[in-house]
Amino acid sequence: MSLPERKTLQLERMKRSVNLAYEAVPFYKKSFEQAGFHPDQLKTLDDIKRIPFLTKQDMRDAYPFGLFAVPMEEVVRVHSSSGIPV
C-alpha cells in the first residue's frame, strides 16, 4: 500500500471511530463540545490534535459503564484490569 493510500485509510477509520464515539457515548459528545470540536472538523490526520484526550481520571469517573458505545443489552462480557502488569 502506498503512503497516500495508507493515510486515506487511516483517516477514514479515524473518522468512523470519532463519529461513533460522538454519536454513541455521551461522555465523548460532551467532551468534544467542551473542547469546541465536532467530528465533521476531522478533515486530515493532522486534525487529530484537536480531539480532547481521555484522562485516567475520566476513566475512573466513568467506570464501569460510562464509556460504552452500545446499549447494556448488547454487552456480552466486560473485562477490567487493575492496570498493574503481571
3-state secondary structure of 75: coil
For residues 9-20, give the mean pLDDT. 98
pLDDT tens figures, 37-60: 999 999 999 999 999 999 999 988
Distance of alpha carbon 47 from alpha carbon 7, whole angstroms: 13
Q: Which of 45 and 63 is assigned the larger pLDDT?
A: 45
User: Under a CB-based contact definition with an 8 Å cutoff, are residues 26 and 58 in contact?
Assistant: no
Task: Residue 30: count other Cβ atoms within 10 Å of its Cβ.
Answer: 11
The SS3 assignment for 17 reads helix
Q: pLDDT at position 63, please?
A: 84
Distance between CA atoms of residues 4 and 12, nearest Å = 12
User: How confident is residue 86, by pLDDT bands cut at 50, 70 and 90?
Assistant: low
